[in-house]
Amino acid sequence: MVKYNGQTKVLVAIDCIIFGFDGNELKILLIQRSFSPEKFKWSLMGGFIQPNEDLDQAANHILKTLTGLEGVYLEQLYAFSNPNRDPFERIISVAYFALIDILKYETQISNNYHAQWFSLNQIPDLIFDHNQMVKLAKKQLRYKAALHPILFELLPGKFTIPQLQNLYEGIFETQIDKRNFSRKILSTKLLIKQPEKDKLNSKKGAFYYVLDMPKYIENFQAFLYFIPKQQASLQD
């Protein structure tokens, strides 16, 4: 068997950045690290790729082991390879990220590793370069939300305009005028108003809407034009 003599072996890890939306707020899922170094500190879901796994298989295996989540779409983000990113070993980490409906997956989440949702504006200090990973994932999320209709994959079948606005405000970390948002989103004519209202969040209530899927598939670009340029900016 031919081997690459004289080469140093490097460990390859996977870190999963899971963003979630609960109908009101955008959050991130973190776990408490169960071993040293940095034991008990907050961390992304991470682990090492096994000899019989490819990167995608490893990401899904690690996520299921640490959180109980499975069937979640994960997208490869970036490889972090600073030689000093881990104080004990030379480790390259391939980061993945996902955006999920928290209410859809809440019953799956395991408590074995103390997985917990945090608001994006209240993220604790994370181990190693995980803060950098989250920062890059947020930037990529804004990019995709501005150019692709990914946010509607996250919402429940029926949703309100305030819920949709909360989601956009969470993604772009900005305040959007309610009247303008409602007017512009309804002008796309891609939403179908429902007779019932959500009355949990206000006395008056907000009508539910559903996506007109045939029109959406044909003309999803209509949703892209109401995002102000400064909000869709990729700059930090």
**CATH code of the domain covering residue 213:** 1.10.10.10
User: Residue range 16-23: average pLDDT?
Assistant: 92
Cβ contact 15:66 at 8 Å: no
Pick from 91-105, 184-198, 207-221: least confident: 207-221
47-50 own/partner pairs: CB under 8 Å, 24+ apart: 47/13, 47/14, 48/11, 48/12, 48/13, 48/14, 49/12, 49/13, 49/14
User: Residue range 167-194: average pLDDT?
Assistant: 88
Cβ contact 171:153 at 8 Å: no
Q: Using 50, 70 and 90 to split pLDDT, how confident is the model at 31?
A: very high
Q: Determine how many CB atoms are found less than 10 A away from the CB of residue 80.
A: 20
Domain boundary, last residue among 147, 177, 192: 147
Q: Which residue has the tokens 């030379």?
A: 90
Q: Is the pLDDT of residue 203 over 80?
A: no
Rg (C-alpha) for the chain, rounded Å, is 20
Domain boundary, last residue among 121, 147, 173: 147
**CATH code of the domain covering residue 97:** 3.90.79.10
Domain boundary, last residue among 147, 167, 201: 147
Residue 137, burial from CB neighbour count under 10 angstroms (0-12, 13-18, 19+): buried
pLDDT of residue 224: 65
- Tell me if 140 is assigned to some domain: yes
Show the domain range for 192. 151-226
Same domain, 60 and 122: yes
Residue 127, Cα to own-chain centre: how many angstroms? 19
Q: Is the pLDDT of residue 154 over 80?
A: no
- Tell me if 232 is assigned to some domain: no
